Amino acid sequence: MYQVLLKSFLLITLLLLAGCGYQLGTVGNPQFKSIAIAPIKNETNSAFAATYMKQKLAERFQVDGTYKITNMKNADAILYGQITTIDITAQNIMTSPNAVTFQTNEFGATVTFQYVLIIPGRATPAVPSTSVSGNAQFQVPVDLFPARSQGIRQACRDAAEKVVWRCAEGW
């Protein structure tokens, strides 16, 4: 008896949800289904930053799943972008009353990325020129260079998440 009531309740709930206008799937721009990422320009002196950004953009587009990643020749839309600034800042620098400054081992990375999403053959871009900033905090246990590179990668990932969201849902 309880099984019949439970099955009836589940069936009624399913029918109500199906009729309420809920829809599964993406909310991407209907004008295109695939996207290409053009080579990223790096206007900073940080080595490999453009490579990190392109990798993170491709990764985030794949995880999002709204658009298929393809080459520039076959893409319905092309993302052009450039890293304009990378800022590395020290966190929690403290000075004691006797003027001794303590060295920090925690830093912040901010990557500023400017991009535009173009549909080939169209005069106006699908997403006009926009700037996003990605942020990350990282610690330096021994060597600054590998920790700094990891912090830039994390900041690129944060910026890439914002770009993908705006391209997939913010249009």
What pLDDT is recorded for position 10? Answer: 74
pLDDT at 23 over 70: no
pLDDT tens digits for range 99-143 = 666 667 789 999 999 999 999 989 899 889 999 999 999 988 888
How many whole angstroms separate alpha carbon 159 and alpha carbon 100? 37
145 pLDDT tier (thresholds 50, 70, 90): confident
Number of H helices, E strands in the chain: 3, 8
Helix/strand/coil for 19:
coil
For 47-90, the pLDDT digits (tens) are: 899 999 999 999 999 999 999 999 999 999 999 999 999 999 98
Q: Domain limits of the chain?
A: 28-168
H or E element at residue 85: strand 77-90
DSSP state of 136: E
Fold of 28-168: Double Stranded RNA Binding Domain (3.30.160)
**CB of 127 within 8 A of CB of 167?**
yes
* Biggest distance spanned by C-alpha atoms of the chain: 80
Q: What was the pLDDT predicted at 91?
A: 78
